[in-house]
Amino acid sequence: MIPTERVLISEELRDRFAQANNVLVLTGAGISAESGVPTFRGGGNTTVWKGMPFDVISSAGMLARDLPAVWEWFNYRRGLLGALKPNSAHEAIALWQTRFQDLTLVTQNIDGLHQAAGSRNVVELHGNIWRARCFDCGSRHDVRELKSDTLVPVCFDCGGNLRPDVVLFGEMLPAGAFESAAMKAQTCDLCFVIGTSAVVYPAASIPEIARAAGAHVVEVNPEHTALSDMCDEVVIGKAGEVLPMLG
């Protein structure tokens, strides 16, 4: 753990933060890991579910082969998330909505912690674990409102089978999500990349687009990543410690 007093924030970043009008924030698993959310990529038992690797049970192929197993897996994951709360980084970003003229929050996370902290209009690149989507009519429902005697819940609107409204391995991003983020990246003057190495495309291109358009790109991570060299500034530290220091 990096003590707060060792986190260094440059005067340039403080000045840019104070003067910014249009800010884009891209977040990944690291920000939620500070709330206790498992990343399912760090080794150990969390990467396997009943003998199946994480990227198998969370795949489009498994959705087609065994929908009940996919639901069982995501029900298990929601059970892990249910008691977790937003941390100070989530809360700081939510407060930025009133600080900046235009704030765009783009997340690769599916846990809903940004919304729980008060963030609105979050661009969810990978969906949300608390939502279900109908295979037939496309309607979306809050999983917490579903009551079903079967493992696979059905749509309130048409009676069709529901699936978790998340992007599985082998699937495309939700229509318009990346496009919306890319458009905002072209016009922001300050871009934060928080808790992610942002090396997986298309999400990785968001800070690239921002930098090409003249934005000051800042990475906030506990350690250097593959993204660090392309950023204008890297702040080494936990997001929950760094972001409140900015104000």
Residues with catalytic roles? 126
Written as one string, the DSSP assignment of 73-116 is HHHHHHHHHTT----HHHHHHHHHHHHSSEEEEEE---S-HHHH
Q: What's the rounded Cα separation, in Å, for the pair 75 and 232?
A: 41
Exposure string for 169-207, b = 16+ CB within 10 A, e = fewer: eeeebbeebbeebbebbeebbbbbbbbbbbeeeebbebb
From the list 245, 243, 246, 247, the residue with the least C-alpha distance to 90 is: 243
Q: What's the rounded Cα separation, in Å, for the pair 224 and 235?
A: 9
Strand order from edge to edge, sheet including 127-134: 140-142, 127-134, 162-166
Q: Residue type at 183?
A: M
Q: Residue type at 242?
A: V
Here the tokens at position 218 are: 């800042």
